[in-house]
Structure 1
Amino acid sequence: MKIAYQGIPGSYSESCAKKMYPDCETISCKTFDECFEKSSENSEIKAIIPESNKTTGNIGVEYLIFKYRLNIYEEHFFPIKHNLLGIKGSKINEIKNVYSHAQALSQSSNFIRKYNLNENVRADTAGSAKYISENKDKTKSAIASLLSAEIYNLEVLQKNIQDDENNVTRFLLMGRDIYQPEFNKGDFLTSFLFKLKSKPAALYSALSGFALNGVNLTKLQSFPEKNSFSSFFFLCDIEGHIEEDKIKNSLKELGLHCEDMHVLGVYKADKIRKK
């Protein structure tokens, strides 16, 4: 399997891909848009996308989910273990500056304050590790994965520096071809996009079908249509398989209130949801 991810080798997205599929071939992309584009053009390439983080919330890829409308095959909650990395021979008490992605810095704020480090925001965590390895300054460090330390030959000065020990990011495995798992006794999610007709109480009316059919919404997020402050799309995840009667009835009711509606995928719920 070929999996495209945003970032350079050693990123958390690549780490997640290799955990899900140890034998996969990973493809580095500069941007999330490039990931979606590669997968949209080639059915053999899947995209692994971080969708939200337990601590810092949404990653901000919803507009690309709407733009490309790739099918969702899996969700995976991947533990994010941040580590302070420095060049070989450096010591933690020598570090003055720390470099990383804004979310990684935010998720490690207690550790950064404890050691009075100067924060430096960069495009990604693995890129920060690569920068430190090339800079060879003992006063500089990066917050990144253990895979990054291995790839860029860095010293792990401190492991698991994230504020929340249970810090996890939800990743979605997506692709061009539509695939729907067989309905069985497992736990499933159905994801879809919708845009409402312009009328009073449209959202209230549209969601009433889920309440009447006893369907639980696990995610409901609005985001503006391109070049508009008054037209919104909604991204929604619900518990259940699209073949279930209660899901069919709920989506049928929703459709009566929509200008546009698109099912993104039906897939098994990650086991971590039960914990």
Structure 2
Amino acid sequence: IIAEHFMSIRHCLMAKSADAVIKTAMSHPQALGQCRHFLRANGIIPVAYADTAAAAAFVAANDDPSAAAIAPPIAAALYGLVAINDAVQDDMSNMTRFVVLSRAPVDRSTLTGTLMTTLIFEVKNIPAALYKAMGGFATNGVNMTKLESYQNGASFAATEFFADIEGAPGDPAVDRALEELRFHCNSVRLLGTYTQTRNRG
């Protein structure tokens, strides 16, 4: 990971005609979930589809005037649909974070501002392993802004964690925290260091 980008999410209800009586709305399940209050309030039946753009293309290619799609506003122009409502998401502050990947890491000397580091680690399968692994970040004052857990396979024998921290290897506090983390883990993998583009506070 060499960079991050935050994008505001805007869902648009689009159909073949502006005066259509909409009965169904097709979209990716996640987009439908982000618009569920709007759909319920308007009596529109959600229909899951592979992705938002494909849903718009499907509505454009078919003759059902009561069918609509929920997709980014640009999809209406791309597929010749009419934007009926260009902000149907339930949470107007919804954002998606994207990361930029590269085969080569970024040169840390070129980075400015607050730095972020993303890592994956697998704790040992012993009592209080996660508590002990997190202790190094707390005692060294390293702010962890994200922590997600994943089961490794179907064995339930080990849990992996995906984490974002403020700081970078080479910072004494981060180095001490990572050293303590490695002591309590089976594995630690750094995925990248990059400039923070949005304050986590």
TM-score, normalised with respect to structure 1 = 0.69
Alignment of 1:144-155 (within 5 A): 144-155=71-82
- Residues 215 and 196 (structure 1 numbering): CA distance in 2 closer, same or farther, change over 3 Å? same
Q: How do residues 74-223 of structure 1 correspond to structure 2 at under 5 angstroms?
A: 74-87=3-16, 89-92=17-20, 94-182=21-109, 186-223=113-150
CA offsets per residue over residues 180-209 of structure 1, 9 Å max, x none?
A: 432765011111111122322211111111
1:90/1:138 contact within 8 Å kept: no
Cα RMSD for the two superposed structures:
1.6
CA contact (8 A) 2:120 2:189 kept: yes
Contact map agreement 1:180 1:267 (CA 8 A) in 2: no
* 1:222-251 C-alpha deviation (Å, 9 max, x unpaired): 101123222111111111122211111110
| Structure 1 residue ranges (4+ consecutive) displaced by more than 3 angstroms after TM superposition | none
Question: Take 2:40 and 2:105, find their aligned partners in 1: how far apart are those partners?
Answer: 47
Give the one of 140, 148, 163 matched to 1:236.
163
Count of matched residue pairs: 201
Q: Check whether the contact 1:183–1:243 (CA below 8 A) recurs between aligned residues.
A: no
- Answering whether residue 198 of structure 2 is matched by residue 271 of structure 1, we say yes
Structure-1 separation of matches of 2:27 and 2:197: 28
- Say if 1:193 and 1:261, in contact at 8 Å, map to a contact too: yes
* Secondary structure in structure 2 of the residue aligned to 1:160: coil
Secondary structure, counterpart of 2:156 in structure 1:
coil
Q: One-letter code of the match for 1:118? A: I
Q: 1:228 to 1:218 in 2, by over 3 A?
A: same
Q: What TM-score comes out, normalization by structure 2 length?
A: 0.93
Which ranges in structure 1 are unaligned for 5 or more consecutive residues?
A: 1-71
1:47-62 superposed matches below 5 A: none
Gap change, CA 1:125 and 1:272, over 3 Å in 2: farther
Secondary structure of the equivalent of 1:271?
coil
In structure 2, list runs of 5 or more residues that go unmatched. Answer: none
SS in 1 for 2:43: coil
Q: CA deviation at 1:177?
A: 2.2
Residue of 159, 179, 188 corresponding to 1:252:
179
Higher relative contact order (CA 8 A, sep 6+): 2
What letter matches 2:195 in structure 1?
A: K
Q: CA deviation at 1:162?
A: 0.7
Greater C-alpha Rg? 2
- In the alignment, the residues of structure 1 paired with residue 107 and residue 156 of structure 2 have an alpha-carbon distance, to the nearest angstrom, of 34
Matched to 2:38, the amino acid is F
Shift of 1:151: 1.3
Percent of paired sites with the same residue: 37
